[in-house]
Each structure stands twice: as C-alpha cells, then as structure tokens.
Chain A
Amino acid sequence: MALATRTARTSALGTLWGSTVGKKAVMAATGVIMLLWLTAHMLGNLKIFFGPAEFNGYAAWLRTLGEPALHEAWFLWIQRAVLALCVVLHGVAAYQLSRRDLAARPQRYAHRRPRASYATRTMRWGGVILGLFVVWHLLDLTAGVVNPLGEDGHPYQNVVADFRTWYADVFYIAAMLALGLHVRHGFWSAAQTLGANNRRRDRALKATANVLAVLLTAGFVSVPVAVMTGLVD
C-alpha cells in the first residue's frame, strides 16, 4: 500500500542537464553571463570616441588586469575560457532543445498563425547569425586575420580600417540588430526560466529587457556609424 521510499538519486547536475527545464536554466545562466560581459564590452567600445591613444591604452590595460596576482593576459584568457564555455553550453543546449521542440510538434497546423512562433524563430535564427558573427569578429578584431589592417596592438586603427568597408558595416550592424532582438526576448526569458519572474515583476522585466536591448544595440552600432560618418577616423 505505502509507496516505496526514495531510491538512490542521480546527481543534481545530471538531472539538471537531463531535463528540459534544467537545460533551459543552463541557457539562461550562460546567457546572463554573456549579457553582463557584452555590457562591459559595449561600454569599453565607447572609449573609441576619446581617440586612439585612450582606446589603445584601454586595450593594453585589459592585458594587465589582475596583475600582479595574475601573469600578463591571464585574466583575458580566463575570461575567454569562461565565455567559450558559456557559448558552447548555450549553443549545445539550444541545439538539443530545438531538436526536441521540433520533434514535439511533428505535424503542423493547416491553418497557420505566424505570430505563434515569432519569438522562437527569431531566437533560433538570431542565435545562428550571432554564432557566425562571433567567428568573424574574433578572426577580424582579435586574431586580425581577416582585418584589412590587422596590426597587433593597434585596435583603434584596425576598427577604423574595418568599418571603412561596406560589408563589415552591413554584417556588423545586422548582427547587432539580431543581438538586440535576442537580448530583448532572452533577458525576460532568462528571468522566467530562472524563476525570477512573477506577476508583479513581469512588466518591469519586459521593460528592462527592451531598454537593455536598445542600449546594447545602440552602443555597439554607434561605432561603425561614427566611422562611416567620419566622426571617428
């Protein structure tokens, strides 16, 4: 009559990664980390408006962060490792969940209503666009291999050289718009997934997501626009 007592349990991490809710929470947590980093990155980018010396100096300072406790550039590498892990976890979870989601609705409705899947589709395609952008962006401004100038230690000059080409502007701005959309749904979604949302906060969270998305996009896009308009050269 009485039910048996609990059996040996699997590890909490295993359960987390094994369930849709847990996997989504991993996406939310990694998304929040990346969002925080992006905010810092965007603010740092704005230093470009103070001229080459200040911008290049800022870039150099990033390499010395954590000294003397850390060796030169260690902080940068730790940060890169964390971000890489976030990207991988975020991407793998998104891929696995998307496959599952598509399998859960094998037959579509004959009467389609596009609105229903708008957010889902923009997140999926936006995520793919952002992934491709990150690859180009690293090759361009971190490794310098696809940058028109590609001079180590001269990020200001590299950026300006970059945004003088039309394709870099187009790709960059398109990616930043995708980022805005991604953050707009992703921030609120992360709050929902991590259980931080409730009825009282719902509107505030949605407003915050909108503001954050606009500020991030505007901040990032201001750089190529400034280069194109000659404000920065």
Chain B
Amino acid sequence: MTDTTATPAPATPAQGPAAPAQAPAAPAPAVGAYTVGDPLADTRAPAGPVHERWDTRRFTAKLVNPANRRRHTVIVVGTGLAGGSAGATLAEQGYRVVQFCYQDSPRRAHSIAAQGGINAAKNYRNDGDSVHRLFYDTVKGGDFRARESNVARLAQVSLQIIDQCVAQGVPFAREYGGLLDTRSFGGVQVSRTFYARGQTGQQLLLGAYQALSRQIDAGAVEMHPRTEMLDLVVIDGRARGIVARDLVTGRISVHLADAVVLATGGYGNVFHLSTNAKNSNATAVWRAHRRGAWFGNPCFTQIHPTCIPRSGDHQSKLTLMSESLRNDGRIWVPKAKGDTRPPAEIPEEERDYYLERIYPSFGNLVPRDIASRAAKNVCDEGRGVGPGGQGVYLDFADAIARMGREKVAEKYGNLFEMYERITAEDPYTRPMRIYPAVHYTMGGLWVDYDLMTTVPGLFAVGEANFSDHGANRLGASALMQGLADGYFVLPTTLADYLARHPHDEPDPSHPAAAAAVAETRERLARLLAVGGDRTAESFHRELGQIMWEHCGMARTEAGLREALERIPGLREEFWRRVRVPGGGAELNQQLEKANRVADHLELAELMCLDALHRTESCGGHFREESQTPDGEALRDDEHFSYVAAWEHTGGGPPVLHKEELVFEYVHPTQRSYA
C-alpha cells in the first residue's frame, strides 16, 4: 500500500524550517521523523457537478436484497449522534446490528452535551440561504482544508436531517405560528441554525437513542452497554470485528461481523482538560490506526474561546459557555500587567477591549480560532485575570445598561445561572471570566467519500473521522455531520460494501482474532503488573500540560520539537511507574483510565508530528512562523493544500500520505477580519 522507502522526509516547503531528517540507521528515530509514502486519492468520490455527486454515488452504489440483509452483521461502536443514528437506521433496513458503548446507557454519549444548534439549508427565513451557500460557508469556514465533494453532500443532506428529527418528535424551538424557529450562528450571514434552547445535542441524541431503543426492543440491535472496544480484528485485509472488554465483569471477548463502524467521537481529551466528557477517549480510533487505518490531519483541533477558566489543580474538566454570549458581552483585560484590582475598580481608560481594538469591524464576534488566540496572547503578556492569570473578562455591564437586566436575563439567563453555579460569582454585577479550551477535533481517521477508512470494511462516522470540517469547524455543524453520516450517508455506502462482499461466516478461532485478544489481555496484564507510584491521572495531567503548551492555540517548531522529545519519555515513565490497583476481572475504572491514557500518550506524538510538519497556519492550526504582518493565520496553499493521512508502521517512523485537495467551486482566499 505504501512506499516506505522514501526515507528522509522531503515534506518541508521551501520557506519552512529544516526538513525533519532522520538517520535510518540510528537506534532511536530522530525527533519528528517521518517518511512520505504514495499520494492518496479518494477513489470513491464521483466526478461531475458538485451538487450531483451524492445522487450519482447513490445510484452507482450496489444494493443488498432486503431478504439477504438479515445475514449481514454490522458492528457499531459508539452511540452518539453518528453511532446511534447509524445503528437505528441499519437495523430498520434489516441488517443485524451489534452495538457497543462504554457508558451504562446509549443515551449518555457525549453528543448529549452539545448546546448551540444544528445547521440546515432550509431557507425558511427566505434570507438567501441555499444548499450551495451552506456548502460555500463550510468550505470557507474550514479554511480550505476540507473536500468539496463531502461538504456538498453534507449541505444537501442537511435538509433531510431536520425532517427526520421533527418526525421523531425532537422538540425544536418553535414560533407562535407553530413553525420552526432558527437563529444565526458564528460567522455566517443567514439564520439557518435550528435549536432546542441550549440543549440541542441532548434532544437530537435522544431522538436517535429512542429510534435505537425501538430496534433494541425489537431484537434487531444487540446492545452492549458498559463495554469498551479495545482492538480491531482484521482478517485477510478486511475489518471483521472487534475485541471488547465488559467493563463490569472484565471479560474480554471477540465480536465478529461483516463490517465495523467506529462512531467513537473525538480525541480532545489528549489535552487532559477539555470540554469533552471525562471518559471520552481515543482508544478505538487509535487501535484501528495501529491496525492499518490511516489518521487524517491529527493536529486539527478546535479551541473554543468561551469556557469557564479552571479554578485549581483539582479541575477535572472544562465547561463550555455558549458562544452566543459574545453577541452582547464585551471582552477585555486590564491594560497594565499584573493588575489584581477587582474589575469594578479598574477605570474605563485602563481597560483594553483588545478584540475591538485589533479587529474593529468584527470586534467581539471574530471566529473562534481568532478569539481564542487573542485571549492567549493577552494572558501570555501577563494581563490575564483570575487565578493564575488564565482568564479574560466577558463583561455585560454595557449590555445591561443598554437593554436592561431583564432583557439580558431573558436572553442569557440559564447561561448566567450555570456560570454562577460553577464559579459562585454573579455575572450580572461582575464580569464573567472566560478562557479558551479544547473543544473538538477536526482530525480523525482518514475516510474516503464512502466514509470507509484505509482498512476495507472499517468505517468511521461523526467526529471520529476527519472528513468535513477542514481545519476549523463552524458552530452548529458537528451535529449536522454526525447525523448526516449516521442517518443518510453510511447506510447507503455501507450497503455498497456489503453487496460487494457476500456474507461468509467469520471464523472466531482465526489466528488474527486470537492474536488480537491475546494482545489485549497482555496489555491489560502489563498495566496491572507495573505497580508503580503514580496514578494514571497524574500522567494524563502531565501530558495535557505538554500538549496545551506546545500543541495548543499557537504552535512553534521549537515547542513542537520539545513536545516530541518529552512525550516518548513520559510514555516510557508511564509504563514504568503507573499504578493500577485491583484486577482485570472486575469493574476497574482505574484500569480503564490507564489503558486510555496509554493510547493518548501515543496519539499525542502523532498530533505533534502532524503539527510540526504542517508549517503553514490554517484554521485552528496556528504556526507562529506562518502569519501575516497583522498576526493572522497565513495559509500556504502551494505546499499544504492536502489532507495529511498518516500510516502507522509499528515501531518505525510514521508514513505521510498526501491527498491533494482540489477546489473547483470555492476558491481559496485569505481570511481577514480586521
């Protein structure tokens, strides 16, 4: 599949830093070493006008006779928006679905925490929206690092998603006339975001969960809650199953099928503190990667500007505050460094409303990546507020003076309550403190137009794949993509794969299955046997600090090289000093945690490598070496207009495969918000 002979990476463009060279004979590979393999092409994407491609693909896809569907078993891992909708739909169509989630119920997947809304090009407002405009906004918002074909499909399918969810009884916000309400969302000029107060993700997920529950009750879905996928089983070059651990009994078992779908979400928890759920993890995608699925754009991480700052070392996770707050709140820090006066005592002329100063036309409403970076910059200058100086003020005093307290309460009341509950500060009288936090990963397993990874029969949907958001995801697009993949795209493309691979009973005693089980057992036994003096949590925290500092909002070659030097050391220390109490044959949350941290320690390195090799800035990936004179992200389309798909080589340096991106409809331009 790959030409791994291309040794020293020639990847670095002319103006970039020295090529990350590697001495092949050296005992330990040099920091940042990788090789470049064959370019990669998405062979499934049809040609033709961009908005006809999905229809073309649907027509060319082979079908499975309804009578034969029952014979095909599909494993779905994860029950969030993508996995829940996929499992329910596949079962409705007649396939046998075996589904897994680590939570105690499929309803608890982290999609449930999404607040804002879901985009759809319905144009109910008659404000000039269209499928093409949603397509255009998404490609541009992704800073021209997404595939046009995929995004066009996403925009087209968005129409059906709303219909589907309404039919399921999802209680979207409505107007007095009984029709659906919409609102505008970050960086677009139309009102296309459908919402259910601040709990859109919850309501959409419950819709999918209920559809899934119907199939579980009917016996069409065999549901395994509290069961975690720990490895992928590849037989004769095809994904044929998974190795899973029952989290209650500790039993490790192999489950075989005709195809495997990963809907396991993103890997933001590599950073330890993020807005992800505490148990969200990268194990499923990382194990799949190690078994041959290439990893797309691992460094593309979205850092959300409006989160509640951490209050101390005990902090276990970060909480997002909806970005809608930036519509009326003004962001500022003191002009002087180390100014510890309470905000009310800092006079107007000693405040720096830095977003309004730097970006006069967009002000506080600049896109997420820009707002996040600006906050980091002022805090790095020593002008941050709150404990540790890691925060900026989001002030509603002007809004309250202008609209009155009641109006502000009407718009943001529940967010203010949430803030007060967590911080015990009243945002009506004292400005909120906010700070950016890791929120979403645009990167993920590389998939083709059919959402299939480089392992035939292994599909990745939702945040687990890399596909539709490029280098930056627009607000309210994650829910759209998860449901598009699960309800509409995967059921079509997976059928094509199954139709081309007639059912044959997989052999549970196949050496590949037995080996995967044995490796999993051995790995868990190793974790339990270390008996060291540090908790898994402490390693996770340390990894998070490295990643946040060097692979966070602003990245430099030196910082990334330092991270790449420190991570292997930390990993080595982890396997030497971690302490996991208890045994493997019981509910053991420390063992679960340690196993996930072990994978985070490997994935983190690939993220840093990807960030190091991409010497341009784009979207959420900001390399300080590549910026405009005004300090804005400077893309390098000549050298980096590609998807970086990384191949795991098992010990040797990873291999980079480039998938060139072609823009026929939305022509790359430099973003400007000044």
Interface residues of A (CB under 8 A from B): 1, 3
Contact = CB atoms under 8 A, between A and B. Distances in A.
Interface in B65-94: 66, 91-94
A3 B214 CA distance: 9
Contacts of B563: none
A213 B186 CA distance: 59
Interface in B167-226: 214, 218, 220
Nearest to A4: B218
Contacts of B92: 1
Contacts of A3: 214, 218
Which are the 5 A-B pairs with shortest beta-carbon distances? A1-B94, A3-B218, A1-B92, A1-B93, A1-B220
A3 B93 CA distance: 12
8 contacts: A1-B66, A1-B91, A1-B92, A1-B93, A1-B94, A1-B220, A3-B214, A3-B218
B interface residue count range (under 10 / 10 to 19 / 20 to 34 / 35 or more): under 10
Nearest to B94: A1
Contacts of B66: 1
Nearest to B92: A1
A3 B215 CA distance: 9
A1 B93 CA distance: 6
A3 B216 CA distance: 12
B219 to A, nearest CB: 10
A190 to B, nearest CB: 31
B436 to A, nearest CB: 41
A3 B219 CA distance: 10
A3 B94 CA distance: 11
A1 B94 CA distance: 5
A1 B218 CA distance: 9
Contacts of B91: 1
Contacts of A1: 66, 91-94, 220
Interface string B246-261: 0000000000000000
Contacts of B93: 1
Nearest to B70: A1
A1 B214 CA distance: 11
Contacts of B218: 3
Contacts of B94: 1
A201 B127 CA distance: 44
Contacts of B214: 3
Nearest to B69: A1
A3 B221 CA distance: 13
Given A1-B92, A1-B220, 6 more contacts: A1-B66, A1-B91, A1-B93, A1-B94, A3-B214, A3-B218
B216 to A, nearest CB: 12
A173 to B, nearest CB: 50
A204 to B, nearest CB: 28
A123 to B, nearest CB: 34
A3 B217 CA distance: 10
Nearest to A3: B218
A38 B40 CA distance: 86
A34 B447 CA distance: 70
A3 B220 CA distance: 10
A3 B211 CA distance: 13
A3 B92 CA distance: 10
Interface string B91-104: 11110000000000
Nearest to A1: B94
A98 to B, nearest CB: 30
Nearest to B66: A1
A1 B92 CA distance: 5
A9 to B, nearest CB: 18
A82 to B, nearest CB: 42
